[in-house]
Amino acid sequence: MFTLLRKEVSGFLNSLIGYSVIIVFLLINGLFLWIFPMQFNIPDYGFASIDNLFLLSPWVFLFLIPAITMRSFAEEHRSGTIELLLTKPLTDLEIILAKYLAGVVLVFFSLLPTLVYFFSVYRLGQPVGNIDIGGTWGSYLGLLFLGAGFTAIGIFASSVSANQIVAFLIAVFLCGFVYTGFEFIYGLSLFGKIDLFIQQLGISAHYASMSRGVIDTRDVIYFLSLIAVFLMLTRFNLERRKW
Protein backbone atom coordinates (compact mmCIF):
# COMPACT_ATOMS: atom_id res chain seq x y z
CA MET A 1 0.00 0.00 0.00
CA PHE A 2 2.81 2.41 0.88
CA THR A 3 4.36 1.86 -2.55
CA LEU A 4 1.09 2.90 -4.18
CA LEU A 5 0.83 5.84 -1.77
CA ARG A 6 4.31 7.05 -2.73
CA LYS A 7 3.39 6.62 -6.39
CA GLU A 8 0.21 8.68 -5.97
CA VAL A 9 1.97 11.45 -4.04
CA SER A 10 4.80 11.50 -6.60
CA GLY A 11 2.19 11.67 -9.34
CA PHE A 12 0.82 14.84 -7.78
CA LEU A 13 4.19 16.44 -7.03
CA ASN A 14 5.85 15.47 -10.33
CA SER A 15 3.08 17.02 -12.38
CA LEU A 16 1.44 20.43 -12.60
CA ILE A 17 -1.63 19.20 -10.74
CA GLY A 18 -0.19 19.26 -7.23
CA TYR A 19 1.68 22.54 -7.60
CA SER A 20 -1.24 24.17 -9.40
CA VAL A 21 -3.60 23.28 -6.56
CA ILE A 22 -1.21 24.63 -3.92
CA ILE A 23 -0.51 27.83 -5.89
CA VAL A 24 -4.20 28.49 -6.60
CA PHE A 25 -5.12 27.89 -2.95
CA LEU A 26 -2.42 30.29 -1.73
CA LEU A 27 -3.15 32.86 -4.45
CA ILE A 28 -6.88 33.05 -3.75
CA ASN A 29 -6.40 33.24 0.01
CA GLY A 30 -3.52 35.70 -0.31
CA LEU A 31 -5.46 38.06 -2.54
CA PHE A 32 -8.54 38.09 -0.33
CA LEU A 33 -6.63 38.26 2.96
CA TRP A 34 -3.98 40.85 2.08
CA ILE A 35 -4.80 42.64 -1.20
CA PHE A 36 -8.50 43.02 -2.00
CA PRO A 37 -10.21 45.70 0.16
CA MET A 38 -13.00 43.40 1.32
CA GLN A 39 -14.32 41.99 4.60
CA PHE A 40 -11.64 39.27 4.59
CA ASN A 41 -8.71 41.73 4.37
CA ILE A 42 -6.51 41.28 7.46
CA PRO A 43 -4.94 44.81 7.58
CA ASP A 44 -8.38 46.39 7.17
CA TYR A 45 -9.83 44.03 9.78
CA GLY A 46 -7.76 45.79 12.44
CA PHE A 47 -7.29 42.80 14.73
CA ALA A 48 -4.38 40.38 15.14
CA SER A 49 -6.29 37.40 13.82
CA ILE A 50 -6.32 35.08 10.81
CA ASP A 51 -9.89 33.91 11.45
CA ASN A 52 -10.82 35.04 7.96
CA LEU A 53 -8.45 32.42 6.53
CA PHE A 54 -10.59 29.74 8.15
CA LEU A 55 -13.79 31.33 6.86
CA LEU A 56 -12.52 31.53 3.30
CA SER A 57 -10.52 28.29 2.96
CA PRO A 58 -13.47 25.84 3.14
CA TRP A 59 -15.02 27.51 0.09
CA VAL A 60 -11.74 27.31 -1.80
CA PHE A 61 -11.35 23.64 -0.80
CA LEU A 62 -14.91 23.04 -1.97
CA PHE A 63 -13.69 23.33 -5.56
CA LEU A 64 -9.98 22.53 -5.33
CA ILE A 65 -10.26 19.18 -3.53
CA PRO A 66 -12.74 17.74 -6.07
CA ALA A 67 -10.29 18.90 -8.76
CA ILE A 68 -7.57 16.86 -7.01
CA THR A 69 -9.62 13.73 -6.47
CA MET A 70 -11.69 13.60 -9.67
CA ARG A 71 -9.03 11.60 -11.50
CA SER A 72 -8.34 9.11 -8.68
CA PHE A 73 -10.56 6.31 -9.99
CA ALA A 74 -12.27 8.01 -12.94
CA GLU A 75 -9.00 8.10 -14.89
CA GLU A 76 -8.27 4.48 -13.97
CA HIS A 77 -11.67 3.43 -15.32
CA ARG A 78 -11.37 5.58 -18.44
CA SER A 79 -7.94 4.28 -19.36
CA GLY A 80 -8.75 0.69 -18.42
CA THR A 81 -5.92 0.45 -15.88
CA ILE A 82 -8.31 -0.24 -13.00
CA GLU A 83 -8.30 -3.95 -13.84
CA LEU A 84 -4.51 -3.99 -13.72
CA LEU A 85 -4.54 -2.12 -10.43
CA LEU A 86 -7.02 -4.56 -8.90
CA THR A 87 -4.79 -7.51 -9.81
CA LYS A 88 -2.01 -6.14 -7.62
CA PRO A 89 -1.42 -7.92 -4.29
CA LEU A 90 -3.50 -5.25 -2.55
CA THR A 91 -7.00 -5.31 -1.15
CA ASP A 92 -9.59 -2.84 -2.42
CA LEU A 93 -9.40 -1.00 0.89
CA GLU A 94 -5.62 -0.61 0.65
CA ILE A 95 -5.94 0.84 -2.86
CA ILE A 96 -8.61 3.26 -1.65
CA LEU A 97 -6.57 4.29 1.40
CA ALA A 98 -3.47 4.89 -0.72
CA LYS A 99 -5.35 7.22 -3.06
CA TYR A 100 -7.16 8.88 -0.18
CA LEU A 101 -4.02 9.50 1.89
CA ALA A 102 -2.25 10.92 -1.16
CA GLY A 103 -5.04 13.50 -1.45
CA VAL A 104 -4.80 14.30 2.27
CA VAL A 105 -1.02 14.76 1.96
CA LEU A 106 -1.57 17.31 -0.81
CA VAL A 107 -4.15 19.14 1.34
CA PHE A 108 -1.60 19.21 4.19
CA PHE A 109 1.09 20.60 1.87
CA SER A 110 -1.29 23.32 0.70
CA LEU A 111 -1.90 24.41 4.31
CA LEU A 112 1.75 24.53 5.36
CA PRO A 113 2.66 27.78 3.50
CA THR A 114 -0.27 29.58 5.18
CA LEU A 115 1.75 29.46 8.40
CA VAL A 116 3.47 32.51 6.92
CA TYR A 117 0.17 34.36 7.44
CA PHE A 118 0.12 33.27 11.08
CA PHE A 119 3.68 34.42 11.78
CA SER A 120 3.06 37.69 9.91
CA VAL A 121 0.03 38.51 12.07
CA TYR A 122 1.93 37.31 15.15
CA ARG A 123 4.66 39.87 14.43
CA LEU A 124 2.25 42.64 13.40
CA GLY A 125 0.17 42.39 16.58
CA GLN A 126 0.36 45.11 19.22
CA PRO A 127 2.07 43.94 21.34
CA VAL A 128 3.94 41.31 19.34
CA GLY A 129 2.32 37.91 19.81
CA ASN A 130 -1.12 39.33 20.55
CA ILE A 131 -2.97 36.52 18.78
CA ASP A 132 -5.13 33.65 20.01
CA ILE A 133 -2.60 30.86 19.43
CA GLY A 134 -4.82 28.09 20.86
CA GLY A 135 -7.77 29.10 18.72
CA THR A 136 -5.55 29.33 15.65
CA TRP A 137 -4.13 25.82 16.04
CA GLY A 138 -7.63 24.50 16.70
CA SER A 139 -8.78 26.16 13.49
CA TYR A 140 -5.90 24.62 11.56
CA LEU A 141 -6.78 21.19 12.90
CA GLY A 142 -10.43 21.75 12.00
CA LEU A 143 -9.47 22.85 8.49
CA LEU A 144 -7.29 19.76 8.07
CA PHE A 145 -10.17 17.52 9.17
CA LEU A 146 -12.50 19.37 6.81
CA GLY A 147 -10.05 18.86 3.93
CA ALA A 148 -9.73 15.18 4.85
CA GLY A 149 -13.54 14.85 4.80
CA PHE A 150 -13.81 16.58 1.42
CA THR A 151 -11.08 14.27 0.10
CA ALA A 152 -13.04 11.17 1.16
CA ILE A 153 -16.13 12.55 -0.59
CA GLY A 154 -14.08 13.33 -3.71
CA ILE A 155 -12.61 9.81 -3.80
CA PHE A 156 -16.13 8.38 -3.60
CA ALA A 157 -17.35 10.66 -6.40
CA SER A 158 -14.42 9.57 -8.57
CA SER A 159 -15.43 5.94 -8.11
CA VAL A 160 -18.98 6.67 -9.26
CA SER A 161 -18.19 7.86 -12.79
CA ALA A 162 -15.49 7.22 -15.37
CA ASN A 163 -15.89 10.83 -16.53
CA GLN A 164 -13.66 13.22 -14.59
CA ILE A 165 -15.94 16.23 -15.13
CA VAL A 166 -18.95 14.30 -13.84
CA ALA A 167 -16.88 13.10 -10.86
CA PHE A 168 -15.86 16.71 -10.17
CA LEU A 169 -19.45 17.98 -10.26
CA ILE A 170 -20.69 15.16 -8.03
CA ALA A 171 -17.92 15.88 -5.53
CA VAL A 172 -18.63 19.64 -5.49
CA PHE A 173 -22.34 19.00 -4.94
CA LEU A 174 -21.80 16.46 -2.16
CA CYS A 175 -19.11 18.55 -0.42
CA GLY A 176 -21.30 21.65 -0.63
CA PHE A 177 -24.34 19.81 0.71
CA VAL A 178 -22.49 18.17 3.59
CA TYR A 179 -20.83 21.49 4.46
CA THR A 180 -23.84 23.83 4.28
CA GLY A 181 -26.90 21.78 3.31
CA PHE A 182 -27.73 20.48 6.77
CA GLU A 183 -27.13 23.94 8.22
CA PHE A 184 -29.63 25.35 5.71
CA ILE A 185 -32.23 22.68 6.60
CA TYR A 186 -31.68 23.43 10.29
CA GLY A 187 -32.29 27.12 9.63
CA LEU A 188 -35.73 26.36 8.14
CA SER A 189 -36.92 24.96 11.50
CA LEU A 190 -39.15 22.38 9.83
CA PHE A 191 -38.51 19.33 11.97
CA GLY A 192 -38.99 20.58 15.49
CA LYS A 193 -37.06 18.58 18.07
CA ILE A 194 -34.76 16.92 15.55
CA ASP A 195 -33.60 20.19 13.96
CA LEU A 196 -30.50 20.23 16.19
CA PHE A 197 -29.72 16.62 15.24
CA ILE A 198 -29.95 17.55 11.55
CA GLN A 199 -27.55 20.44 12.11
CA GLN A 200 -25.05 18.07 13.73
CA LEU A 201 -25.06 15.90 10.58
CA GLY A 202 -23.29 18.67 8.67
CA ILE A 203 -19.62 19.61 8.69
CA SER A 204 -20.22 23.30 9.39
CA ALA A 205 -21.29 22.90 13.04
CA HIS A 206 -18.32 20.67 13.91
CA TYR A 207 -15.85 22.80 11.98
CA ALA A 208 -17.08 25.94 13.74
CA SER A 209 -16.70 24.18 17.09
CA MET A 210 -13.07 23.20 16.39
CA SER A 211 -12.33 26.69 15.07
CA ARG A 212 -12.95 28.05 18.55
CA GLY A 213 -9.88 26.15 19.71
CA VAL A 214 -11.85 23.51 21.62
CA ILE A 215 -11.00 20.00 20.42
CA ASP A 216 -14.14 18.09 21.36
CA THR A 217 -14.06 14.30 21.05
CA ARG A 218 -17.50 14.42 19.41
CA ASP A 219 -16.20 16.60 16.60
CA VAL A 220 -13.21 14.32 16.00
CA ILE A 221 -15.46 11.25 15.99
CA TYR A 222 -17.80 12.99 13.53
CA PHE A 223 -15.03 13.69 11.02
CA LEU A 224 -13.56 10.19 11.36
CA SER A 225 -17.04 8.69 10.88
CA LEU A 226 -17.68 10.88 7.81
CA ILE A 227 -14.39 9.79 6.28
CA ALA A 228 -15.06 6.12 7.07
CA VAL A 229 -18.57 6.22 5.56
CA PHE A 230 -17.43 7.63 2.22
CA LEU A 231 -14.41 5.33 2.01
CA MET A 232 -16.70 2.36 2.64
CA LEU A 233 -19.06 3.61 -0.06
CA THR A 234 -16.07 3.83 -2.40
CA ARG A 235 -15.14 0.25 -1.55
CA PHE A 236 -18.71 -0.85 -2.28
CA ASN A 237 -18.56 0.88 -5.67
CA LEU A 238 -15.34 -0.89 -6.59
CA GLU A 239 -16.72 -4.26 -5.54
CA ARG A 240 -19.96 -3.61 -7.41
CA ARG A 241 -18.04 -3.14 -10.67
CA LYS A 242 -16.66 -6.66 -10.32
CA TRP A 243 -20.13 -8.20 -10.40
pLDDT confidence tier of residue 222, bands split at 50, 70 and 90: very high
Per-residue pLDDT tens for 165-215?
Answer: 999 999 999 999 999 988 888 777 777 778 788 888 889 889 988 887 777
Q: Is the pLDDT of residue 7 over 80?
A: no
Q: Is the pLDDT of residue 104 over 60?
A: yes
Mean pLDDT computed over 120-145:
82
Per-residue pLDDT tens for 50-98?
Answer: 888 888 999 999 999 998 888 887 766 666 666 666 666 678 788 889 8
Per-residue pLDDT tens for 19-44?
Answer: 888 888 889 888 888 888 777 777 77
Per-residue pLDDT tens for 109-122?
Answer: 889 998 888 888 88
**Separation CA 233–CA 239 (nearest Å):** 10
